[in-house]
Amino acid sequence: MAQNVTPPRGMRDFLPAEKARREHALGLIRSVYAAHGFDEIETPVMEDSSRLHAGLGGDNEKLAFAVMKRGITADDLAAAAASGDALSLADLGLRYDLTVPLARFYATHRAALPPVFRSIQIAPVWRAERPQKGRYRQFVQCDIDIIGDATPLAELELLTATVATLDALGLTGCTIRLNDRRILAGILGSWGVPEALRERALITIDKLDKIGVAGVSAELVEIGAVSADAEVATALEGLTTADWHLASGVVPPPAWLDLEAYAELLALREAVPGATIEFDPTLVRGMGYYTGTIFEIAHPEFGYSLGGGGRYDGMIGRFLGNDVPACGFSIGFERIVDLLEIRDAERPRAVVLVHDADVPAERLLALKRELVASGSRVRLERRVKNFRALLDRVTADGFDAFANVTADTADASQLELRELGA
């Protein structure tokens, strides 16, 4: 019986052409981030389970893959199942984002880092998602973070670098939505949401694009955040349909609007020319660690964000005992890589040398070295009967030219390059 050889659900293999596309995009992202003064770091794929479940990751903590302790017995499994405490069997877990590991990294290496540390992390993360279009159990995140700067300059640097990266990728038509947790706190306060239920209420509001105004309103009543007779649905409808924009003033300002936070958002927009930036009072970002400004990348053709981030001044203090200001922005790599087209000018010449069986290996390797030295990518292929099938295959692999090599070919100057895919 044939075995199932597909990858685990929600995880993928990448053929050479797709891998090349991904690496090209990642290279562009890295180069722009580095040009804006960020330095790349690397953290382990696993962290202590207690750290991943410290109440910082919102609903994503529930999606963390746990790594079982060594020496667990069947009796241990049965006891954990009976008690409902499966996490007691795990001491490690796969990271579900790159922000919690960064906070731990900074706490570990603070003495060796500059007072204001600008980091790049580009790496896979894992979540036990229900696989669907655009959602995977293993996916790459592209994060930039600034630690140690409490001023709006941190947000400005992140926004500027992100806008430049989207431009370099050729991704046009994006809008950056802005909000602030202080503004959200004002909205919840105006609805009478108890302090103890505010984080849970924000998680519910974050579902607005999935379950709509009626669904959010009903869930807020269900969790006890608001009373059944509260006019939350009407208020939400007003928030979602109002022509919100970042202007010099909202006249008259709503009672819930934190004017200081709003003024800071206005200043951010004015300082990032060429970007489309809008204020959205319903923007939440579901992670529980955000403390101030939050932002998200939207595109009119897609019903989901292409990236996001915000300020999380309280997280690192969990590890150090004193708070350190921090802010980050992440590009949703998996959601944008399929939208990108690699322009021919950005790729090296890719040449296939199709050779007869009697061409000496030494000559083939000499020809290959000569072309590689000139900047080309080169592959050797032996001539086969079905020549058209060979050309179709190498074209699909990203090669754009071929040349025939015979026993009489002495050097690269005698090669006649012919275009593929024309």
Question: In the numeric block, which tokens belong to residue 1?
Answer: 């019986």
Q: What is the pTM of this model?
A: 0.83
- 401: closest CA among 337, 332, 354, 357? 354
pLDDT of residue 61: 80
Per DSSP, the residues of 255-308 read: TT--HHHHHHHHHHHHHSTT--EEE-TT---S-TT--SEEEEEE-TT-SS-SEE
Q: Which residues pair with 311 in a beta bridge?
A: 327
DSSP secondary structure letter of residue 325: -
Question: Order of strands, edge to edge, in the sheet holding 66-68?
Answer: 46-48, 90-94, 66-68
Q: Which of 276, 296, 314 is the last residue of a domain?
A: 276
Question: Final residue of a domain: which of 276, 293, 313?
Answer: 276
* CA neighbor of 361 nearest in space, from 405, 403, 418, 401: 405
Are 300 and 184 in contact by the 8 Å Cβ rule? The answer is no
> Is residue 130 domain-resident?
no
pLDDT score recorded for residue 216: 86
Contact indicator for 238, 217 with CB cutoff of 8 Å: no
Joined tokens for residue 137:
């159990």
Cα gap 397→420, rounded to integer Å? 11
Give the burial string for 207-237 (b: 16+ CB within 10 Å, else e).
ebeeeebeebbbbbbeeebbeeebebbebbe
pLDDT at 172: 83
For Cα atoms 182, 233, 308, give the angle at the middle one, nearest 5 degrees. Answer: 40
Question: Does the residue 309 lie in any domain?
Answer: no
Contact present, 334 and 134 (Cβ < 8 Å): yes
Cα 69 versus chain centre, distance: 30
Asked if residue 325 is part of any domain, the answer here is: no
Does residue 367 lie within any of the structural domains? yes
Rounded CA separation 318/48 (Å): 14
- 271 assigned to some structural domain: yes
Region of 393 (left: φ > 0; alpha: ψ -120 to 50; beta: rest) is alpha
Within 8 A by CB and 6+ apart from 346, the residues are: 24
Report if residue 244 sits inside a domain. yes
Quote helix, strand, coil % in the chain, to nearest 5: 40, 20, 40
Judged by DSSP in three states, 327 sits in strand
Any domain includes 50: no
Domain boundary among 276, 305, 324: 276
pLDDT along the chain (422 residues), means of 10: 79 87 91 95 92 73 82 74 72 90 93 94 92 83 95 93 91 89 90 88 85 87 81 80 62 80 86 83 81 90 85 87 92 83 62 90 89 89 90 86 89 87 64
Q: How many domains does the chain have?
A: 2
- For residue 43, the model assigns a pLDDT of 96
Biggest CA–CA distance in the chain, Å, is 90
Which residue range(s) make up the domain with 197?
187-276
| Domain-located, residue 317 | no
Q: For the CA atoms of 30, 33, 39, 40, what is the dihedral angle to 10 degrees?
A: -30
